[in-house]
Amino acid sequence: MDALQIDQENLEGLSEEYRQAVMAYHRNLDQRAAARSDDPQMPRLAMPKEGMGAASALTQYQTLIEPNLAATLGPRYWGFITGGSTPAAMLADGIVGSIDQNPSTPADSITSSVEQQVIEWLREFFNLPAAFEGVLTTGATASNLLGLICGRQFAGEQQGLDIAKAGMQGANIEVFSATAHASSVKCLGMAGLGQEYTKIATLPDREAIDLLALEQALANSQAKGKIVIANCGTVTTNDFDDLSAVADLCERHHAWLHVDAAFGLFARCLPDKAHLAKDIERADSITSDGHKWLNVPYDCGLFFSRHIDKLETSLSVAAPYLAVESSSPTFMNRGIENSRRFRALPIWFTLTAYGTEGHKNIVANNCLRAQQLANWIEQSSTYELLSPCQLNTVLFRRQSSTRHTALDLQNIDNKKHLKAINETGEVFLTPGVWQGKYGFRAAISNWKTTKDDVLRVIALLEKLSND
C-alpha cells in the first residue's frame, strides 16, 4: 500500500495527532513571541520523491514550521488590523477544510443557502436595510475590487456603454477619494480605471474628506461617469468621511458611492460609536472584512451592494454545465472565483455560538482597551499620541529627548524604538506615519486582549522608554 492509502485507512488516528498538534500551539501561545523579528526561512530541502506519509509530514511541520510562526491568534499581536479567531469560528474552519465543499453554484448542497443566511444575519448585525445583497470574498481587497467593478458598470451605462461586454475603450470615468486605502489603489489598477485617481483634500489635521473640495471636484469634472470611494475607518488615524454629506453629493452628481468600511462598519454595532458610520446605507456598495473584527480565520471578506445586478452583469459565468435552478444565489456570479471556499461556515458557527451580543462585546472591549492604552500615553512624559483614539487603534510615538531635534532624526529614533519594542516579542506593533511623523500603531482587534495585556505592554513601554 502507498502512503495515501495507509493514511486514508488511519484517518481517525491521524486526525487525533493533528488535533494534538493544534492544541499544543494553543497551549503554548503565551510563551511564543507575538511576532518573529528575525525573518525565519525554510531550509532548502529537496522536494520529496517518495512521500513520507501524513504522520511524518506532521513531525516535519512541528520541527520546521510551527516554531517559526507568529502568535497572530494571541492577545498582543497588534500589527496591521489583525482579528483573532473565536473558538467556534476556528474549529469550524477546520471542518471547512475537512468537508471540502464548493459553494460556486447552489442546489446540489445547502452551502449556498448557508452563505445567504450569513449575509442576511450580517446585514442585520450592521443594521443595513434588506435592499443590500452580498457575497463573501477573500478579504477587503477583493471586496473593494467588486465595488469598483460595480461602479465601473454603472458609470459605463451612464454613457451608453456595457463595460463588462465591450471593455473600457471609449469610457470616460473619473474616480474621487481623499484617503483611499492602498488596496483600493491596487484595485483601481486591476479594474482598468487606473491607479491615479483624483485625490480630494482632507479637512485640516484629519484624514476625512473636505466636502467643499469634493463638491468642487465633482462639479468641475468633465467625466461622463463618476465613482467616489469614501472611507469609513482609515488605517492610520481611524478617521471617517461624513457619509451623509458625501451621499448627498454623489446623488446630486450621479456618482457611484463605494464605501471602504473594512473594520469601520463594526462601529455601527456600538451605541456610542454608531454615529461614525451613520448613513452608510446610502452607499451603492460597501466593503468590510470578516478576518478582522468579526474574528473569523483568514481568509474572509464581506461585500454588500444595493445594486447586486451590476455585480452579476459584470461577473456572471455563462456555461450550460453551470446552469442551475435554486432559490439561493449563484455566488460564483458575484465574485472573482468560480470555485469557492465554504467560508460562510465559520461565520455561521461564531454567530450561532456567541450571538450578536457576544460579537458586540468583542468590538466594545477592543475599543476600551485601545482607550486604556491611549489614556496612559496621554499622561506619559515619554510617549505622545499622534492623533486622538477614536476606535480600536492607537497611533503614538516616543517624544524626542531634546526639543530641537530635527523631524527626520526623531523619525529615525522612533523607527529604531519600534524595532526594539517588537524584538521583545511581548507585543507586535506596525508603523504609521502621520503628518510626517513616524509612529507606532497598536490596532486591537482580537477578542482575547484584556486589561492585563494592555498593562503588560504599558510596563514594557515604560521599561524601554529611555533605551
Ligand X SMILES: *Cc1c(COP(=O)(O)O)cnc(C)c1O
Q: Which residues sit at the interface with ligand X, rule CB under 6 A?
A: 81, 139-141, 181, 183, 233, 235, 260, 262-263, 289, 301
Beta carbon of residue 282, minimum distance to ligand X (angstroms, whole number) = 19
Cβ atoms of 449 and 76 within 8 Å: the answer is yes
Q: How far is the CB of 119 from ligand X (least distance, A)?
A: 17
Q: Considering beta carbons, is residue 168 or 433 the nearer one to ligand X?
A: 433
| Least distance CB 431 / ligand X (angstroms) | 15
Nearer to ligand X, 151 or 233 (CB): 233
Closest CA to 149 of 245, 256, 236: 256
Report strand pairing: 301-305 vs 285-289.
antiparallel
Provide the minimum distance between the beta carbon of 129 and ligand X in the complex, in angstroms, as a whole number: 23
Nearer to ligand X, 289 or 426 (CB): 289
Owner of C-alpha cell 465559520: 346
Minimum CB separation from ligand X for residue 298, in Å? 8
Residue placing its CB nearer to ligand X in the complex, 75 or 233:
233
Q: Smaller CB distance to ligand X: residue 240 or 383? A: 240
CA gyration radius, the chain: 24
* Of residues 229 and 386, the one with the C-beta less far from ligand X: 229
User: Measured from the CB of residue 81, what is the shortest distance to ligand X in angstroms?
Assistant: 5
